[in-house]
Amino acid sequence: MRVALTDPVEPIAERILTEAGHEIARLSGSGPDALRALCRDADAVMVRQKLPDDLLDHAPRLLAAVRHGVGVDMIPVESCTAHGVLVANVPGSNADAVAEFLVAQMLAAARHVEAMHADHLANGWGPARSRSATATELRGKTLGILGVGDIGSRLGRIAALGFGMRVLGHRRHAAGLPEHIAYAALPDLFAESDYIALACPLTPETQGIVDAAMLARMKPTAWLLNVSRGPVVQEGPLVAALREGRIGGAALDVYWAQPLATDHPLRALPNVILSPHAAGLTMESVETMSRVSATDTVRILAGLRPLNFFNPEAWEASRARRRALGLPMPEEGNAA
């Protein structure tokens, strides 16, 4: 069977796929039309970039859309479910990587690492060293986390137990937060925090949740850290707040449109740290995402349930889709 890759994967994933007897198809070109062409004859797709919403109208054989990562906003899940296409992901695979990246963002902001480096190379020892006059420590500061899932929980533990920070958290359900994270209503979290980490999924409820009103509640020294998805933050109000010095700064790994345009106003602001959607990418996390996503792809193509089943309500429709395609059906007891 044919497995489409929207982007390269680690060798271990290719080995798992080929040892199971499957053919690998690679993306040629870019954009929605290239993705539709890639999946036209595919039985499964391993997803590392946004799929077109109408993909299932152009992929008659597709049985699986497996996310090489955690967030499934790159996959048209409702359409997949309606067509009997199973969706899987790799939950928790990059939680350590992203939590550590957020710590790196806080430390870079607190100690002016980027500016000090540039000053040291361009202007010498003295000007670079003078940056330390406004450096701060994390101990005693307040970290607010929007989205206390795997990433937020690990970040909170590192911040509270490793740096002695006060940690506030906000999520839909206040009960059951880790003991070192105190629940806060969202307006209070923005008003009281020195660092605000966005680690929530992109949903209709979270899109644009960080708006002008929420930014206005931030301390003039506070930093906004976004490793979730770009559309969680309204970029226009954020740029205005940064440009006018109404907040301390922003460390951004994700954007409304990616890659970040060469003329984007964020590039010209001195109180911004930019990275290319890389918070979750380490050698360890990418190996895990490749191995687990390939394993679940093989399971689905064999007619088995994936280990990380995102849309289990599509199971019966997926079996009907296999029958319509004339594919072998494992015994019900073996399909668990």
Structure confidence by residue, pLDDT tens digits, 89-101: 999 999 999 999 9
Same domain flag for 165 and 180: yes
Mean pLDDT of all residues in the chain?
A: 96
Identify whether residues 112 and 247 lie together within a single domain.
Answer: yes
The residue among 248, 274, 300 that closes a domain is 274
Q: pLDDT of 280-329, one tens digit each?
A: 999 999 999 999 999 999 999 999 999 999 999 999 999 999 999 999 98
- Running DSSP on this structure, what letter comes out for residue 27? -
Contacts 24+ apart (CB under 8 A), 110-115: 110/135, 110/136, 110/137, 110/138, 111/135, 111/136, 114/273, 115/270
pTM over 0.85: yes
Is it the case that residue 336 has pLDDT exceeding 80?
Answer: no
The reply to whether 153 and 263 lie within a common domain is yes
Tell me which residue has tokens 């599509």: 314
CA pair distance 298, 294, nearest whole angstrom? 6
Last residue of one domain, picked from the residues 274, 292, 327: 274
Domain count, the chain: 2
**The pLDDT of residue 330:** 85
Q: Which of 4-18, 161-175, 244-258, 319-333 has the lowest mean pLDDT?
A: 319-333
CA 155, distance to chain mean position in Å, is 15
Please compute the mean of the pLDDT values over residues 221-235 and round it to a whole number: 97
Residue 332 pLDDT exceeds 70 = no
Domain around 189: 95-274
CA angle 183, 99, 109 (to 5 degrees): 90
The whole-angstrom separation of Cα 258 and Cα 251 is: 16
* pLDDT of residue 195 exceeding 60: yes
CA–CA separation, 112 and 321 (whole Å):
56
* Same-domain status, 104 and 115: yes
- Compute and round to an integer the Cα radius of gyration of the chain: 22
- Tell me, yes or no, whether 129 and 71 share the same domain: no
Cα angle 118, 123, 127 (rounded to 5 degrees) comes to 90
* pLDDT confidence band for 334 (50 / 70 / 90): low
Q: Residue 147: left (phi > 0), alpha (psi -120 to 50), or beta?
A: left
* Mean pLDDT, rounded, for 64-82: 96
Same domain, 131 and 29: no
The last residue of a domain, from among 250, 274, 298: 274
Q: What CATH number does the domain containing 114 carry?
A: 3.40.50.720
| Same structural domain, 161 and 269 | yes
Pair (127, 50) in one structural domain: no
Co-location of 244 and 292 in the same domain: no
pLDDT of residue 262: 96
Same domain as 236, residue 124: yes
Mean pLDDT, residues 111-123: 94
The pLDDT tens digits for 21-49 are 999 999 999 999 999 999 999 999 999 99
Same domain flag for 167 and 68: no
123 and 226 within one domain: yes
